[in-house]
Amino acid sequence: MMLRIIHGKLKSGTWGSYERAYKDVMRKSGKIPGLKGRWLAQATDDADAGYTISLWESEAEMRAYENGDILLKTILPELKSFFSGDYVTTRCEVRFAEEFE
């Protein structure tokens, strides 16, 4: 499994609008092959910063998404105007997982 973690800084005061747009465009994007889960997290020490974390079945499916129309033509056009320019993507191979209820 793979994790894709994005840290981004938004334009000042736009988190609420960004979160609404994020939820809306994710609903519109439908089922994405290989995507097992997705989270949006706002930083507690900076209201204009946050993370998106996605869990992928395989690196190939994650890379296909990164280069595919859903991200490039549906998701990014709706969200990129919110970002201030500080935007970093990190890809990680999951080496251990433990779930609690």
Domain range holding 47?
Answer: 2-93
**Is residue 100, in this structure, part of any structural domain at all?**
no
pLDDT value for 42: 98
Q: CATH number of the domain that 77 lies in?
A: 3.30.70.100
The model's pLDDT over 45-88, given as tens digits with 9 standing for 90+, comes to 999 999 999 999 999 999 999 999 999 999 999 999 999 987 89
Domain count, the chain: 1
Q: Is the pTM of this model over 0.75?
A: yes
**Is residue 99, in this structure, part of any structural domain at all?**
no
Longest dimension (CA), the chain: 37
- How far is CA 92 from each of CA 12, 36, 40, 79, 89, rounded to the nearest angstrom? 29, 15, 17, 23, 10
